[in-house]
Amino acid sequence: MEEISALMQGFGVALTLKNLGFMFVGVTLGVIIGVLPGLGGANGVAILLPLTFTLAQQPGGTTTAIILLSCIYWGALFGGAITSILFNIPGEPWSVATTFDGYPMAQKGEAGKALTAAFTSSFIGAFIAVVVITFLSPIIAKFALKFGPPEYFSVYLLTFCAFIGMAKGQAMKTIAAMMIGFALAAVGMDTVTGQLRLTYGFTELLQGFDFLIAVIGLFGIGEILLTLEEGLAFKGANAKIDMAVVKETWRELPRYWVTSIRSAAVGCFMGIVPGGATPASFMSYGLAKRMSREGDQLGTGKVEGVVAPETAAHAAGTSALLPMITLGVPGSPTAAVLLGGLLIWGLQPGPMLFIEQKDFVWGLIASMYLGNIAGLIVVLTCVPLFAAILRIPFAIIAPVILVVCAIGAYTVHNSMFDVWLMLFFGVVGYVFKKLDYPLAPLVLALVLGDRAEAAFRQAILGSQGDLSVFFSNWLVGTITALALLLLVWPLLGGALARSKASS
């Protein structure tokens, strides 16, 4: 029970008055970010990341900084449920399934019940995922210590193949978006040879493209432009949660324990696989519809229809951090931004964290428990306040969000060029979103590009250019094979469906 004592030590690190304060600040900011159009987990964290630069330089400051940022993430996850239920606007892609039953419940006047159910199941999903992280991450980290460059490259390959294999739309668009990310990551000074790549003589491009700017532009500005299309007014149900409703809902929730456990399992598993939170929420909703006794009534405003996707989405969103801290491979754009934060603060994400930065890792894991409790308290008590934010007229909120994005983009490198770049990425994000080019693989490739390339170079340097190095032992061979299998999965699935249809 090494993990328990390490976790207890982690609580010792996380449970200072300062960290608790930042936890509540983070969660509150996160919920606000989650309910505002154009701001979500990924770009919210990206905008606030520069605020932690000075914070992280103090002794023990990196732990406080990661607590602040991860709590913004938890808050944003909670906030997504508020907009889904009250306004029928999913704040994040994984809250889409929550609207199916959440919004009908709100229309029936059961908004308080739906919100309580959503928050509570979010909490349960996240809690189960944190328990999984607590016990699984030391094992994975220990395992990953054996990894050399070929193994690392094969893990990156697995991450990116999973995106292509699980893509909903055209796989070619996923590939295009992802490779654009890789190409943008290559811009600037090549660290190995010192040569300038792809700058075409522009001095502004010497530093390369920062993924934070891309995240703020693609998700922030792009999202506002999309919101504009849908019209300016939000029409929402009224929300009030009093203790009586909470107690009543809590008495009802244990009835759905099977759904909860099933959804949490789906969420934890899918979250570790990259890009899994959104499919996890749909999958878990689908499973509830098929397997539950009242399944055929889902979609008309049933509590169970809120429980299933919310538990899964939160479990997935939380467990997406598992590969990030153990392998340095983020599973979602927000996890990628957090990873970027670690790099900026001078920490190397990956298995060595568990040896060299014990306090940091276990402080972070302990803060996941505490942060979610803080989140539950904040959302249950402050819903009317957050719903009121959504009623601020668009003529005020849109320019303010733009100002926030501009400040966020500027503060990353104190550069005006970045602010222009952000606007450009905003237009790209809007067009890509409408044409179904996925943005998450682009961002992930931009974050991981340099590391993936370095691993690739070192690996084939060792083998003198022979690509068979990626099959040279059972470990790297298995991961590479799995990656290739995921890559051709849609083709296999299509062939299977065709042969079934013909027979």
Partner 1 sequence: MTDSTKREVSAASVRTLELVVAALILVFGAAVMFDSWRLGASWAEDGPQAGYFPFYIGLLVVIASVTVFVRALRNSQLAARSFVGRDQLRMILMLLVPSIVYVALIQMIGIYVASILFIAFFMLWLGKYSIVRAAAVSVGVMVAFFLVFEIWFKVPLPKGPIEAALGLN
Q: Which residues bind partner 1 (CB under 8 A)?
A: 50-51, 53-55, 170, 172-173, 175-176, 179-180, 182-183, 186, 190, 192-193, 195, 197-198, 200, 221, 224-225, 228-230, 232, 393-396, 398-400, 402-403, 406-407, 410-411, 414, 416, 419-420, 423, 427, 430-432, 434-435, 437, 453, 456-457, 460-461, 465
Nearer CB in complex with partner 1: 182/386: 182
Whether 163 contacts 174, CB under 8 Å:
yes
Q: How far is the CB of 451 from partner 1 (least distance, A)?
A: 12
Our CB check for partner 1 shows the closer of 112 and 449 to be: 449
Minimum distance from CB of 420 to partner 1 (Å)? 6
Question: How far apart are CB 225 and partner 1 at their closest, in Å?
Answer: 5
Structure tokens at 432: 């890509």
Tokens found for residue 6? 């390490």
Q: Output 212 or 303, the one with its CB closest to partner 1.
A: 212
Q: Which is nearer to partner 1, 103 or 369 (CB)?
A: 103
Exposed e or buried b per residue across 387-425, where buried means at least 16 C-beta atoms within 10 angstroms of its C-beta: beebeeebeebbeebbebbbebbbbbeebebbbebbeeb
Query: Tokens representing 209?
Result: 């493209």
- Which CB sits closer to partner 1, 355 or 416? 416
The DSSP code for 439 is S
Nearer to partner 1, 261 or 385 (CB): 385
Report in angstroms how near the CB of residue 186 gets to partner 1 at its nearest: 4
For residue 471, the tally of other CB atoms under 10 A from its CB is: 14
* Least CB distance to partner 1 at residue 332 (A): 22
How far is the C-alpha of 357 from the C-alpha of 147, rounded, in Å? Answer: 19
Three-state secondary structure string covering 161-172: HHHHHHCCCCHH
**In contact, 46 and 341? CB cutoff 8 Å:** no
Q: How far is CA 423 from CA 213, 221, 292, 403, 413, in A?
A: 9, 7, 47, 12, 16
Strands 196-197 and 188-189: antiparallel
Nearer to partner 1, 191 or 503 (CB): 191
Which of 47, 306 has the CB closer to partner 1? 47
CB of 493 to partner 1, least distance (A): 19
Phi-psi region of 438 (alpha: psi -120 to 50; beta: other; left: phi over 0): beta
Name the token pair of 87. Answer: 């306004």
Decide whether 296 or 436 has the Cβ nearer to partner 1: 436
Nearer to partner 1 among residue 346 and residue 465 (C-beta): 465
- Identify the CA nearest to 412 among candidates 34, 22, 38, 48: 48
Q: How would DSSP label each residue in 284-339? A: HHHHHHHHSTTGGGTTSS-HHHHHHHHHHHHHHHHHTHHHHHHHS--SSHHHHHHH
Structure tokens of 170?
Answer: 């055209």
Gap between the Cα atoms of 151 and 86, Å rounded: 46
Q: Which two tokens stand for residue 206?
A: 């010497």
We find the least distance from the C-beta atom of residue 200 to partner 1, in angstroms, to be 7
Nearer to partner 1, 230 or 356 (CB): 230
SS (H, E, C) 204-245: HHHHCCCHHHHHHHHHHHHHHHHHHHCCCCCCCCCCCCCHHH
Say which residues have a Cβ less than 8 Å from residue 184's Cβ, sequence separation at least 6. Answer: 208, 209, 214, 446, 449
* Least distance in angstroms from the C-beta of 174 to partner 1: 9
Report the nearest approach of partner 1 to the CB of residue 391 (Å): 14
Shortest spacing between CB 443 and partner 1, in angstroms: 16
CB of 232 to partner 1, least distance (A): 8
